[in-house]
Amino acid sequence: MEDILSETVDRMLKEGAEFCDARFQTVHSCQIRIVDGGIRALNEERIGGLCFRARIGGSWGYASTVALDRPSAITSCIDAVRNAKLGRLAGPKITEMPSFERKIRADLKVHPVDVPIDEKIKVVRELESSQRVEKRVVNTNANYKDEVRTNLLMNSFGVQVKWEEVRVRLIAYSIASEGGRQEVYYESVDGTGGFEIARDSDLEAIGRKCGEEAVRMLGAKKPPSGYLICISDPQITGLLAHEVIGHAAEADEIVKKRSFLTKAVGERVASEAVTLVDDGTIRGAYGSIPVDDEGVPSSRTLIIDKGIYQGYMHNLETAAQMGVKPTGNGRAQDFSRRIWVRMTNTYIESGDWTLEEMIEDIDYGVLAEKMISGMEDPVGGGFEAKTLRGYLIEKGEIRDLLRSFTLTGNALQILKTTDAVGKKVQLDGGTCGKGTEDFVPVSSGGPYCRSRLIVGGG
């Protein structure tokens, strides 16, 4: 395949490309879902193909194919150049990057493709069956997914890189019911790595906790409403970091002037307690990548430093447009999709507070735990999150368990009221779309944070 990619890069240059790259990718995934003791889904999927990109002026041309023979590759790469010529847009040249050759192996102990499907089913059964702690648990769910991506990329700057990304994720989800009322609880385990992520986790304890907490939620009380002091747990903190600040800091939104952070560099956008980064180099995190889909090494991008806005995440195109270095955030869902500026692991960094110290200072407020959903407004900076549950805080002490409620506010106003940031960062993995499509693996998180938000009672 190296010979084909090398030949197609040369051919695209001869056809008139000012910059071009060729990428070969395979994706092998396995998904298992067990519900109430029965296997509801058992899927193994393998896809693979070639992607060619050519840039002329400010226009990109893309072409992809699942045919891996030389004639099909040559035809597709010529199509990419032809598509770029149709654009006729002016634009800066892609800034030349140093040439290098590298092979990067995934950091793992047990490769998922070497694990028999029966063993994978066994761990999912354990995660599901352990949720049935008592009769009020009426629905038990366990999901498993592993994904192996292999990539080979060459470009016209002389970059040649081959790398592998391997991820594993498990989710347990319990529903409890009593007297016409239903409540839920979930837990997840995820990361970049091999099947050891599943083997090394106490799945029985995770499942049991889901069942027990779902039952406990049946006694949760109605939350208060109003503009309150709120301690957000790492998931809610990560939702704010990712959905509002993260998406608005993707530089393709900046150059289109579709972000409330377009002119924010150098401005105070948060309290001094807040430092926010996107870092694709964190070992074991679900969103980590060795290089992005343009061959740029992953990096730590400082977005907010002690409350001051620092800059944006970039791919090759936006870096050229803004005259800066790319940050390794050019990512695509797969070989058939376009590369956009995308996050990796986005989170608020740790501070100096313990959770107990945060609670002690609150006369009346809430502790928000675990997210259900979130909505972002990258243009206006609005934020809304629905929590799974929370706790009432009165006179410096945790009181009642609360059922689901909403948190709303303006992102910058929330961050400017953040006066306490916890010591321990936690990341949770998932997938992120650019709008409603082009999904890539990411993680988000942070420590416990104390701010002021509008709380909506459930």
| Rounded Cα gap, residues 426 and 357, in angstroms | 19
User: Quick one: tokens of 215?
Assistant: 């039952």
| Rounded Cα gap, residues 278 and 249, in angstroms | 10
238 and 190 in a common domain: no
Final residue of a domain: which of 219, 246, 274?
219
243 and 158 in a common domain: no
Helix (H) or strand (E) holding 71: helix 70-87
User: Quick one: tokens of 452?
Assistant: 């002021």
397 and 287 in a common domain: yes
| Rounded Cα gap, residues 192 and 283, in angstroms | 8
122 and 40 in a common domain: yes
Q: How many domains does the chain divide into?
A: 2
CATH code at position 62: 3.30.2290.10
pLDDT at 378 (0 to 100): 80
Final residue of a domain: which of 219, 254, 279?
219
Tell me, what DSSP letter sits at residue 264?
A: -
What phi and psi, each to the nearest 5 degrees, are found at residue 144? Answer: -130, 140
Q: Which residues contact 353 (CB under 8 A, 6 or more apart)?
A: 420, 421, 422, 423, 448, 450
30 and 11 in a common domain: yes
Q: How far is CA 114 from the centre of its chain?
A: 26
247 and 195 in a common domain: no
**Predicted confidence pLDDT, tens digits, the chain (458 residues):** 999 999 999 999 999 999 999 999 999 999 999 999 999 999 999 999 999 999 999 999 999 999 999 999 999 999 999 999 999 888 999 999 999 999 999 999 999 999 999 999 999 999 999 999 999 999 999 999 999 999 999 999 999 999 999 999 999 999 999 999 999 999 999 999 999 999 999 999 999 999 999 999 999 999 999 999 999 999 999 999 998 899 999 999 999 998 999 999 999 999 999 999 999 999 999 999 999 999 999 999 999 999 999 999 999 999 999 999 999 999 999 999 999 999 999 999 999 999 999 999 999 999 999 999 888 788 888 889 999 999 999 999 999 999 999 999 999 999 999 999 999 999 999 999 987 788 999 999 999 999 999 999 76
152 and 13 in a common domain: yes
**What range does the domain containing 305 cover?**
226-456
pLDDT at 381 (0 to 100): 87
Final residue of a domain: which of 187, 219, 251?
219
178 and 78 in a common domain: yes
Whether the CB-CB separation of 374 and 238 falls below 8 Å is answered with no
144 and 186 in a common domain: yes
Nearest in space to 92 (alpha carbons), one of 57, 42, 54: 57
pLDDT at 88 (0 to 100): 83
13 and 128 in a common domain: yes
244 and 160 in a common domain: no
User: Quick one: tokens of 376?
Assistant: 């972002």
186 and 67 in a common domain: yes
The beta strands (E) that lie in 57-159 are given as 59-65, 101-104, 137-155
Whether the CB-CB separation of 313 and 330 falls below 8 Å is answered with no
Whether the CB-CB separation of 428 and 188 falls below 8 Å is answered with yes
What value, to the nearest 5°, has the Cα angle with vertex 131 and ends 128 and 133? 145
Tell me, what DSSP letter sits at residue 100?
A: -
